[in-house]
Amino acid sequence: MKNELEERGYFTAGNGAAFSRRSMIMDVFSNVPVRNRLLPMILGMAWLAGCRPAADSSADAVRPPDASARGSAAAVQTAAEPIPYPVLPDPLTGDWMKARAEAEASRLAEAFADDVEALDLQATVHRMSGRNDEAVEIWRRCLELRPGFIRAYVPMISVARRKGDYPEAERLGRECLRLDPLQVEARGLLAAVLFEQGRYDAAIEAVLAGQAIGAVNAEALFFQGQALQKKQEHERAVTALREAIRLEPNYTRAYYALSVSLSRLGRKEEADQARAKFRELQGRDMAANAAILQVESEAFVRRTVASVFQRAGEIWANKGRVEDAERCWLFAAVLVPDDPAPRLKLGTLYQSTNRPGLVRGVLDELGPVELRDPKLLHARGLLFLRSGVYDAAERDFLSLLEMTPQSAEAFSLLAQTYLTMGGKNAEALRAADAAVRLAPTKENLLVLAVACAETGDRDSALRIAGELLQRDPQSPEAHRLYEMLRGGDR
């Protein structure tokens, strides 16, 4: 490891091995023993996405917990408290759940009448309830407030297409792609609108323009294939349709269209295979649709309404309305008990508001659950790390690295875990170095400097601290680190 770092210029010759082994984290970050404080300045930068402000919001997120509450031994010993989930009515009906979603969306839109995130959620709920015209009016308002609000375009295009207003659908599609040519869903809808008007060359050109920049989805390629079929260009149609199937292997209609072009080309065996796959998928689709129609699937309504409340909670949190955010996430969690996402949001909120018993309650519920979504694994690992449950945090960050081996943040979090748990300084150095190799950010360099110091190499840590000060002369962490390193044993 040292040779690798020497090549990158982080090590210098000197008596680093003689440097005191006292905790650098202790001196730089909190002036208390490292095992009782969890890198508060670094970890405050890595917060659960659901509690960050939206990219377009100027509002503050839920605040990170006070440093004294993070990673302390007391947090590890705190008894779990039961999560205050609301009680659902019995019987639970779809109409009741939908009414709750509509009421929550209206409450948000009234509270933040000029906020596009709140208005967009209200429009989404209107559309879910079939009130398309009302939804479109709200999305138009969003575009008045923020002309580049891309999220409004796709649903507006879909509504115009369904109404048969092709000129409006095309206008919106082209405007969206002018603002952001990488919007693959808008391009797919534009291709569909052009095809359905019989403008086959225009549909083909729209998709080719997306292919040139690597921005097409299966729907766009399907309609490109359909347009090529209309022009009797079956070889090109086969290519487009096979690519659509590659992107979406269960795209039922694409298999049927593919079988048609293969038959026209005389490739009977391939055509038969495509048609057989179409029939198989068609049967699955019919069974799934029948199941949904039979109950208006309570499970489907639960998940749809829960998604509204999850997003509402994020908006409330970004506006500093912590109690409203908690109320929304509690409701979402009780609606979909098998979905860990709202519970993880609750855990982060409870940590930010210094309620360790409730954090432990969340972790007791979610600790044994196997998570395959990297975002959820990341969130749970942070909860464990900030709660001082280091072995569980290590497990989650190692699993995260198996899923995302090029994630600098995962390496950095693993390094912070090792530094804080003690006894794994060499592992911390390897992880911190990997993070810097992938992304030499200020935060990752700071962790690497601490890891170097913890392994006894003051000279390398001092060099990195100097680089940090050059990058950001106002950084208090870099100043504390640099001054302490220069002072040596005090």
Q: Are 274 and 257 in contact (CB under 8 A)?
A: no
Q: Which of 145, 142, 148, 144 is nearest to 126 (CA)?
A: 142
Indicate where the chain has its CATH 1.25.40.10 domain(s). Answer: 2-78+337-487, 94-299
Q: What is the mean pLDDT of residues 305-331?
A: 97
Q: Which of 387, 349, 333, 327 is nearest to 51 (CA)?
A: 349
Q: 288: pLDDT confidence band, cut at 50, 70 and 90?
A: low
Higher pLDDT, 26 or 294: 294
CA dist., res. 137 & res. 152, Å (int)? 11
Which of 20-34, 202-216, 323-337 has the weakest average pLDDT? 20-34
What pLDDT shows up at residue 240?
A: 97
Q: What are the contacts of 173-179 at 24+ separation with CB within 8 A?
A: 176/150, 179/148, 179/150
Q: What is the mean pLDDT of residues 362-391?
A: 93
Q: What is the mean pLDDT of residues 353-372?
A: 94
CA distance readout (Å), 407 to 412, 434, 442: 9, 9, 16
Q: Which fold has domain 94-299?
A: 1.25.40
Q: 20: pLDDT confidence band, cut at 50, 70 and 90?
A: very low
What pLDDT shows up at residue 21?
A: 28
Mean pLDDT comparison of 24-38, 49-63, 386-400, highest-scoring range: 386-400
Q: 292: pLDDT confidence band, cut at 50, 70 and 90?
A: low
Q: Are 29 and 39 in contact (CB under 8 A)?
A: yes
The mean predicted confidence, pLDDT, of the chain is 84
Q: Which two tokens stand for residue 326?
A: 């908690």
Q: Which two tokens stand for residue 26?
A: 């202790």
CA dist., res. 420 & res. 422, Å (int)? 5
Give the rounded percent of residues in the chain with a pLDDT score beyond 90. Answer: 69
Q: 50: pLDDT confidence band, cut at 50, 70 and 90?
A: very low
What pLDDT shows up at residue 101?
A: 96
Task: Check whether 290 has a pLDDT greater than 70.
Answer: no
CA dist., res. 301 & res. 324, Å (int)? 22
CB atoms within 10 A of CB 379: 26
Task: Check whether 19 has a pLDDT greater than 70.
Answer: no
3-state secondary structure of 397: helix
Give the model confidence (pLDDT) of 227-243 as tens digits: 999 999 999 999 999 99
Q: What is the mean pLDDT of residues 322-343?
A: 97
Task: Check whether 209 has a pLDDT greater than 80.
Answer: yes
For the domain spanning 2-78+337-487, the CATH number is: 1.25.40.10
What pLDDT shows up at residue 258?
A: 97
Give the model confidence (pLDDT) of 415-464 as tens digits: 999 999 888 999 999 999 999 999 999 889 999 999 998 898 888 998 99
pTM over 0.85: no
